Every structure is written in C-alpha cells, then in structure tokens.
Amino acid sequence: LQLQESGPGLVKPSETLSLICTVPGGSFNSSGYYWAWIRQAPGKGLEWIGSIYYSGSTFYNPSLKSRVRISVDMSKTQFSLRLTYVTAADTSLYYCVRHRSLGPFDMWGQGTRVTVSS
C-alpha cells in the first residue's frame, strides 16, 4: 500500500498550488484514518499542513490556514491540497500521509517537489 502524490512541479508566484493524493486499496474510508499533507522545504524540517477525515472534517496549521484547503473525493479514493497565493517560501517537497486520530504518521507517499517561480 503506497500513497501517491501528483500535480504540477512548477507554480507561479501568487497562483494556486494544487496536488492530489491517490490512496490505493480499501483503507480510504475506513473509520479512524485521517489523511494529511506535510511539506519539507529544501534542507529544512517537516511542517504539517493539515489533515482531513474521510467524512470531511479538517484541521489546518494556523500558519497556513487562511490559504489552505484540503478536500476528499471518496469516489476516486483521493484527497487534495489547494494552497493559494503561493510565494517562493512555499517551494517544498510535499508529502501525503496517513494517520489515525491520535496516531503518528504511519504511511507516507514518496513526495512531490513543487517549485514556486516565475
């Protein structure tokens, strides 16, 4: 079971970054799992962006909350990230990740690199 991120690798400043994570298998709508996005800027540490429950309830990092939206598409067993008004500071490797409500991040995608540049 492997999560898979997809989306453009290059986004212009002030535009919207959009990524999709595909969840294979039947765990997507299993009770108790949250689906999250985490990013890692070049040479930096890990930053949690937000999490969504399969039912749609969300939690966001306050530092990004005004620009972030995470949503689910149950029919496609996918969840997505939208980050608006991006700047160079949003250039990162973006991971989609699974966790339980009170659980660690136990399954990670390979990550997708997004560069913000004109």
Partner 1 sequence: EILLTQSPATLSVSPGERAILSCRASQSVSSSQFAWYQQKPGQTPRLLIYATSTRATGIPDRFSGSGSGTDFTLTISSLQSEDFAVYYCHQYNFWPRTFGLGTKVEIK
The reply on whether position 4 binds partner 1 by CB under 8 A is: no
| CB-nearer residue toward partner 1: 25 or 62 | 62
The reply on whether position 45 binds partner 1 by CB under 8 A is: yes
The reply on whether position 73 binds partner 1 by CB under 8 A is: no
Query: Could you give the C-alpha distances from 1 to 43, 54, 56, in angstroms and in order?
Result: 28, 18, 22
Residues 107, 98 contacting (CB under 8 angstroms): yes
Q: In degrees, to the nearest 5, what angle opens at C-alpha 43 toward C-alphas 59 and 63?
A: 25
Q: Closest distance between partner 1 and the C-beta of residue 56, in Å?
A: 16
Q: Which of 84, 74, 93 is nearest to 22 (CA)?
A: 74
| CB-nearer residue toward partner 1: 51 or 78 | 51
The reply on whether position 48 binds partner 1 by CB under 8 A is: yes
| CB-nearer residue toward partner 1: 13 or 103 | 103
Residues 80, 56 contacting (CB under 8 angstroms): no
> Which residues make up the interface to partner 1 (CB under 8 A)?
36, 45-48, 51, 59-62, 95, 99, 102-106, 108-111
